[in-house]
Structure 1
């Protein structure tokens, strides 16, 4: 399933009339899923798409429907294909270049308008939807949603070629607005080495818990890298479910587990301790994850 395929699957409803009985029946029966007033998509296609692409195509549809509105924050980040790890219920975020915020009664369900001073330099067009540029998307995520989400976005920017100086320059252009200190802290801790959003998220949780001495993508030996190393000995590996689904990486689940166990034993024989966590663990048990790491490091000390 690709973004291009989902874009081609969008069904415009701009000129839908009462005489178009076939489309109306499909909407009524649920065969077509309405994403916005003027766009729908085949429900089976939507359900088969990965969750992050479901968010993406939903945002594209909503963005195309709002000709004056500009996607900001998480919504803009998803349109750009940036890493997003939402810690609260996710709604489509928009702003108006005029600076006005529509009354709540005029805001469609599943959307939120924020006050944001935008210039033409802040805005770009992505697949027919207006959105702020990548750096502004990060800055707004940090300002609106906090350090952990902001660090995930900042890591993505550095990993794709942006520099801390560019991020800082754009931050300074915002002037004195709420959340600047959070965004500045994200920039200070951002790295270009992170290879997944949940590696960045795990690191953010540890930083917020006051746990330091963190090495990202540490080399162990000549051929092995680990996601994160704490205090020189505690290796943290963030394993997504796709790693063990037997399909995504072209290897059977059993062979992946056996290979991981051999690698883990090798690391332990070198004196490392290995802690494995999943994205779900980090989401649901973030406090206990940080507490576990703190306890292991304290006992070793």
Structure 2
């Protein structure tokens, strides 16, 4: 293929429109051959992406974001990207990968799904929309509320926790909840606002906290610091009374190249966790461990196990933390607040 012509097509975040292809010197039969051969992948009618770009794109974020931009090139009329599509641009955590591109339009009634696009008829303040990497999106708090309305409480808690870490405020979430009190799906959003907490670093931690909340033993204290015998500081995912709840996700075992956060081998990560737990227990804390399936397919069994483990700790240690642990946590509060602010940036598509 003529490299000069292809270079002229490098626009729209790697997407190729039929108009741009014709302008660059391709004819329609040549475009048809490129599509038929699989070298160009059609994303929407008249919008393509090179096979190499598509195959290198991950299915959780990059592909859905490319699909949003392809939709943006074809949609007519005023629209703003919302729900899952806006969440991906902001870096809001989601449960799973979106199955539709989501847009909100003020000029339609209700919601409709067609050709991979979910169009939501709803009002919004144009002055509050943001442009991220070329795409117009609804703001953080509104996006989190919309996800809860669309997908339910669990997805809403995950989204709201993440939005809070990214800069949304509890006041913004509460104000939107009141302003949208009669909107469809708002009941789930109202419950998620009540339970939102920026102390969750991952979607798994958000779901684990929702599970602990369902035990009725009190509201967990997130990102709770304790000083260990070796002088290091452990930040516990959650503490209720004298019992800690830790979420164990596979990302802790996976290297960054595979989407994880591990900087050592999986074996070393597991060994370090074992040593950490051994140092935590003598501080006067019981510990429960929660995994992903506990929050999805194994909720009932997990709830029963966690309640039993909490009761055993309460019988042995009581429900009130040692004063030294409380005093240390108070001194560490400024550092805790810094931990609650997310630093992850969504990489540009180009």
For normalisation by structure 1, the TM-score amounts to: 0.80
Q: How many residues align?
A: 293
How much has 1:211 moved relative to structure 2?
5.2
Q: 1:255 to 1:180 in 2, by over 3 A?
A: same
In the alignment, which residue of structure 1 is the partner of 2:310? Answer: 297
Q: 1:262 to 1:170 in 2, by over 3 A?
A: same
Which of 28, 41, 54 is the matching residue for 1:33?
A: 41
- Structure 2 CA distance for aligned equivalents of residues 208 and 116 of structure 1: 32
Asked if the contact 1:73–1:138 (Cα under 8 Å) also holds between the matched residues in 2, the reply is yes
In the alignment, which residue of structure 1 is the partner of 2:50? Answer: 42
Which structure has the larger Rg over C-alpha atoms? 2
Runs of 5+ consecutive residues of structure 1 not aligned to the other structure = none
Which of 272, 291, 307 is the matching residue for 1:259?
A: 272
Runs of 5+ consecutive residues of structure 2 not aligned to the other structure = 1-9, 316-350
Q: Is 1:114 aligned with 2:120? A: yes
Q: Is 1:224 aligned with 2:224? A: no
Asked if the contact 1:63–1:70 (Cα under 8 Å) also holds between the matched residues in 2, the reply is no
How much has 1:213 moved relative to structure 2?
3.9
In the alignment, which residue of structure 2 is the partner of 1:137? Answer: 143
**3-state SS in 2 of match to 1:241:** helix
In the alignment, which residue of structure 2 is the partner of 1:11? Answer: 16
**3-state SS in 2 of match to 1:162:** coil
Residue deviations 1:172-216 (CA, integer Å, cap 9, x gap): 333532333432332222223222222112212333464534221
**Larger displacement relative to structure 2 (77-86 or 5-14):** 5-14
Q: 1:28 to 1:277 in 2, by over 3 A?
A: farther
Q: Is 1:177 aligned with 2:183? A: yes
Q: Is 1:70 aligned with 2:80? A: yes
In the alignment, which residue of structure 2 is the partner of 1:95? Answer: 104
Matches within 5 A, 1:193-212: 193-208=199-214, 210=216, 212=218
Which of 83, 94, 106 is the matching residue for 1:84?
A: 94
Q: 1:147 to 1:48 in 2, by over 3 A?
A: same
**Larger displacement relative to structure 2 (257-266 or 282-291):** 282-291
**3-state SS in 2 of match to 1:84:** coil
Residue deviations 1:6-40 (CA, integer Å, cap 9, x gap): 97433334445682555433422333333333433
**Larger displacement relative to structure 2 (15-24 or 236-245):** 15-24
**3-state SS in 1 of match to 2:253:** helix
Q: 1:298 to 1:143 in 2, by over 3 A?
A: same
In the alignment, which residue of structure 1 is the partner of 2:329? Answer: none
**3-state SS in 1 of match to 2:268:** helix
- Structure 2 CA distance for aligned equivalents of residues 42 and 134 of structure 1: 32
**Larger displacement relative to structure 2 (212-221 or 242-251):** 242-251
